[in-house]
Copies of this chain bind each other. A is one copy, B any other.
Amino acid sequence: MSELLTKAKAAKECARTLSQKTTEQKNQALLVMAEQLLAEKDYLLEENAKDLETARANGTSASLLDRLTLTAQRLDEMATGLKQVVELPDPIGESLSTHTRPNGLHIEKVRVPLGVIGMIYEARPNVTVDASSLCLKTGNAVLLRGSSSAIHSNIALVAVLQRALEKAGLPIEAIQLLEDTSRETASEMFTLNEYLDVLIPRGGASLIQSVIKNASVPVLETGTGNCHLFIDRSARPEMAISVAVNAKTQRPSVCNAIETILVEKQWAAEHGKELLEALFEKNVTIAGDKQAQAFDSRITPASEEDWETEFNDLNVALKIVNSCEEAIAHIYQYGTKHSEAIISEDATNVALFLNEVDAAAVYHNASTRFTDGFEFGFGAEIGISTQKLHARGPMGLEALTSTKYLVRGNGQVKG
């Protein structure tokens, strides 16, 4: 049997027993995992060095190298992260609703694990530990498929986590890594409905699209964000500028950063130059429509592509609009339903925007950068869902659960 089938089958078997473990057993294992990570720091850094060496030899970019790198401090942070997951309430077993039918049947809805989670992700080895901890806390078995560039780091991390599971008396098959990182094996994983309950891809748009397109296993789409900030005529200028600069420049590489600013004409006439100066000062490159270009010669003409692109960098598209409706229509056309914001003091516009804009998170007078499981107070995040089924927006522990109905009777039959 192939590595994939052997491990997938073991994961399914393991999920059955894992679903019955108590919160105490799972928390104890998470604490041992944290200890083990720290105890085996040297081994982990040595194995990570092998990946870094290969990456450097392949001419990997500095930013990718940085994401691949483990340091003593980053391992400390991972251990701290594990302890934080211990502190979170265990959703499994939670009773979500109960009602009694006229025929006396008592119907209770309870939270249960999903079963086996297939996690397909790119270079960052910290995802190995993050995802494992969230899956374990929710009683799910996880089958990890990381990228070949992080293979030594991932093998070492999973070996350490499995040693911790063993010490804690939990089955090591709760956390498994595919050592075979070929595309063919990943494709086989996409259709392993018999063993996998859900696939979660984490990474670039092309990885996610490939999973969505080819998987028959249900997918939790985590996503790309072409996010917008709309500044209407009533917006307070200092607030609008501060939010625009924050949402664009505080960390431009992430999905909840904005890519297009829509400004109502009247506001632009009064405060446009001030906004532009603030952006230029942060080295933002701006592509604008005709009206925007009139404000500053440094604004290049925006192409259709600019409205569609998630720059993930210090670039922004700028459009002058005549109304809140026009802003909403632009977002409808180009948005990816991730995070959208309005800066406004006009109650009518705010209500219109919050009601009509269809996105995981719609903001009034705040930066889109808050779309995040930690900022939302979930204490954890397995990703940000941009799909509409199951979970939408930042996904915490609950997104890794399903439900079942327990129906208790005293002999009821259907008439």
Contact = CB atoms under 8 A, between A and B. Distances in A.
A235 to B, nearest CB: 10
A363 B198 CA distance: 26
Q: Determine the main DSSP class of A at the interface with B.
A: mixed
A393 interface: yes
Given A218-B219, A392-B403, A404-B358, A365 B212 contact: no
Given A219-B218, A361-B407, A197 B388 contact: yes
Contact of A389 (B214, B218, B242): B218
Counting chain B CB atoms within 10 Å of each CB, the highest count among A112, A191, A216, A389 belongs to: A389
Contacts of A101: 375-377
Interface in A238-295: 239, 242-243, 245-247, 250-251
A413 B355 contact: no
Contacts of A407: 361-364, 366, 370
Counting chain B CB atoms within 10 Å of each CB, the highest count among A239, A358, A388 belongs to: A388
A242 B115 contact: no
Nearest to A364: B408
Counting chain B CB atoms within 10 Å of each CB, the highest count among A214, A358, A366, A375 belongs to: A366
Interface residues on chain A, size class: 35 or more
Contact of A246 (B215, B370, B414): B414
A43 interface: no
Contacts of A20: 355-356
Contacts of A402: 388-389, 392
